Chains A and B, each alone.
Chain A
Amino acid sequence: MSFESFVALRYLAASRKTAHVALISTISIVGLTLGVAALVISLSLLSGFQDRIRAQMAERSPHLSVSPERGAALSDPEKVRRVLQDLPGVLVVEPVVEGRGWLAAASGGAAVPVRYRSAAEGELPPVPDSEEPPIRIAAPIGFRIGVGSGDSVRLTSSRVRLSPIGPLPVSLQLRVADLGRRGSLQRTPEVEVPEPVARTLSGQLSGAHAYEARLRDPASADRAASEAARQLGRDYRVETWRERNASLSFALRLEKLVIFATVALVILVAALNILSNVALLVVEKKRDLGVFTTLGASPRSLAGIYLVLGTAIGAIGTAAGLTLGVGTSWLLDRFRLVPLPPDVYVFSHVPFAVHPREVFLVAVFAFGTALAAATLPARAAARIAPGEAVGLSR
């Protein structure tokens, strides 16, 4: 062990007679520990929620979506379907047929303009005791036209068909299967209808406006999208579920960054505490510095003592904080210690997820800040006037 480390570590573990020195160091360590733990727990809490949100995004969104780069319909829908079907890890490929129309209660009342699209197979269960095809309406739309689950509605397409009496709009009566209350986890269609209904209303009897695919592993969407884009060429736009939810993803990242910056202020406060405590030690140990100078210690060596001290405080505080933070997060998540009201939240308890990369970033930030805080008083130690220092006891 070097001379500097020997002295610094002895200062850190002072004897009973000089306990105030150890107390100063302990306060610095505890401050850093709490700051690091707070940051780790905050990030774990945020990650827990965000991981669940992303999982729901991946579950409810199509993992891959292929639409025309220009125009409303795919120029070669069969090619698109085949390319998607042949991608590794694809579970299902479904066409998307969509259009615009007006929706009103079958009993009468004002109609509201809507966008409708075909639902994935099996998404819309039939309504019991009804021969009318099912329809899912976004809740705000349902409230506007005054319908709920089980009610009949009339969906009128913007397309017209020719009749003996002239052009007539294409219109169908459907039964509300679900007044869907969707959050912002996906781009929510206002109205979803079975594929045959969508084709009738839009007139798209074959082909599709787009194709959507679901993957066995949503995390492989980027790779699959690159391969699909390579095979399909520039006439098609290939999007992943992340890209379709880019604004939400950005909001989640921004939220985490803001939380990191805010809670990291606690670590900065702890670092300032380290700075002041190490500076206090430099003043307290001024005579020691003078003695070391008379014994032949260089100014760099004197600074080294306090840098080692700051390093030790930083290392101990960071390690203790990481242990406390990770351990607390694990316990809270493992034993579901923070329940959530089920009528308000989708989750039954507050989820905590510890990400190793985030823990590493917190460790680097905390340790680096502590070390930087000790640099200023260490430099002051190097500039001590030894003659004055050893003369202090006279």
Chain B
Amino acid sequence: MPAAPRMLAVRAENLSKTYAGEAAPITVFRNLSFELPVGVFAAIMGPSGVGKSTLLHLLGGIDRPDAGRVEVFGVSLADLPPAERARFRNARIGFVFQFHHLLPEFTAEENVAFPHRIAGLSSASARQLARELLERVGLADRGAHGARALSGGEQQRVAIARALARNPGLLLADEPTGNLDAESAARVFDLLEQLHRERGMSTILVTHNPELAKRCDKIFTMSREGISPASSFVERG
């Protein structure tokens, strides 16, 4: 009896994206298709400039493809009006960037509370939830500190907590360890892996680190020709 098809967290069909360059338009990729089943921790590897970050932006709905279609948990992002797309992103998608992008005028706790405040929760409720999440990532005593007062690893853990504040089903991490030393990078990845399992998320991790990629359920290789499962690694799960 054939296995039931796995539900897809992400389905991207025939995506194309071109940016206006200084001299001439720059085509990042053309007719790129990608699928991520629910609950899978996938790594995307590839040389710089092939469009890995651009792909994540398109999958997360913070940029629009010139052609093609993106569905997240069966919802076509392009079909949503801007306000609904924003609400969907707030509730279902989390982002973690290479540079933490914590807001310097705000404390760690306030940064983590932002997704809740954007969703309309009261300040007190948002901060309570933020404190709980900071405790989970091991930074319970750092909530009152500004971003600049934290170490690189701590900043990235706060960024992860912020990305997971609304308990999203999809986490998009764009080289979250790329700016960290080896020890901090390992701690951050461990945290990502644990939270992925705890919360049953679907995660896409862009990384240049093959050791970290090996620990993922699935590895994809991206090049100028497109994206495909990496042939040199065994798919887990």
Contact = CB atoms under 8 A, between A and B. Distances in A.
Contact of A15 (B83, B95, B105): B105
A386 B62 CA distance: 6
A296 B91 contact: yes
Interface string A1-27: 101001000110011011001000000
B199 interface: no
Nearest to A386: B62
Contact of B101 (A3, A11, A300, A393): A393
Interface string A261-287: 000000000000000000000000001
Contact of B118 (A287, A290, A296): A296
Interface string B75-93: 0000000110011111100
B56 to A, nearest CB: 9
Contact of A293 (B62, B87, B97): B62
A301 interface: yes
A296 B103 contact: no
B211 to A, nearest CB: 23
Which of A1, A10, A17, A387 is the most central at the interface, judged by chain B CB atoms within 10 Å of its CB? A387
Given A296-B91, A297-B86, A385 B63 contact: yes
Given A291-B101, A293-B86, A387-B63, A15 B146 contact: yes
Contact of A6 (B98, B101, B117, B166): B117
Nearest to A295: B115
A296 B90 contact: yes
Interface residues of B, number: 34
Nearest to B99: A393
Interface string A373-394: 0000000000001110011011
B60 interface: yes
A281 B153 CA distance: 29
B89 A390 contact: no
Contacts of A126: none
B103 A288 contact: yes
Main secondary structure of the interface of B (DSSP, over half): helix
B73 interface: no
B118 A292 contact: yes
Given A6-B123, A299-B82, A300-B83, A17 B148 contact: yes
A390 B114 contact: no
A69 B91 CA distance: 82
Contacts of A393: 97, 99, 101
A348 interface: no
A72 B119 CA distance: 82
Contact of B105 (A10, A292, A385): A10
A56 interface: no
A387 B54 contact: yes
A292 B62 CA distance: 11
A295 B162 contact: yes
Contact of B106 (A10, A297, A299): A10
Contacts of A292: 114, 118
Interface in A111-137: none
B162 A390 contact: no
Contacts of B115: 295-296
A301 B148 contact: no
A390 B100 CA distance: 10
Given A18-B105, A393-B101, A3 B118 contact: yes
Contacts of A386: 57, 62-63
Given A1-B123, A15-B105, A288-B103, 10 more contacts: A10-B105, A18-B105, A287-B101, A295-B115, A295-B118, A296-B86, A296-B115, A297-B86, A393-B97, A394-B99
27 contacts: A1-B123, A3-B117, A3-B120, A6-B123, A15-B105, A18-B104, A21-B105, A287-B101, A290-B62, A292-B114, A295-B114, A296-B86, A296-B87, A296-B88, A297-B90, A297-B118, A299-B82, A299-B86, A385-B63, A386-B57, A386-B63, A387-B54, A387-B62, A390-B97, A390-B101, A393-B97, A394-B99
Interface of B: 53-54, 57, 60, 62-63, 82-83, 86-91, 95, 97-99, 101, 103-106, 114-115, 117-120, 123, 146, 148, 162, 166
Q: Which 7 A-B pairs have the closest CB atoms?
A: A296-B90, A387-B63, A298-B86, A387-B57, A3-B117, A294-B95, A386-B62
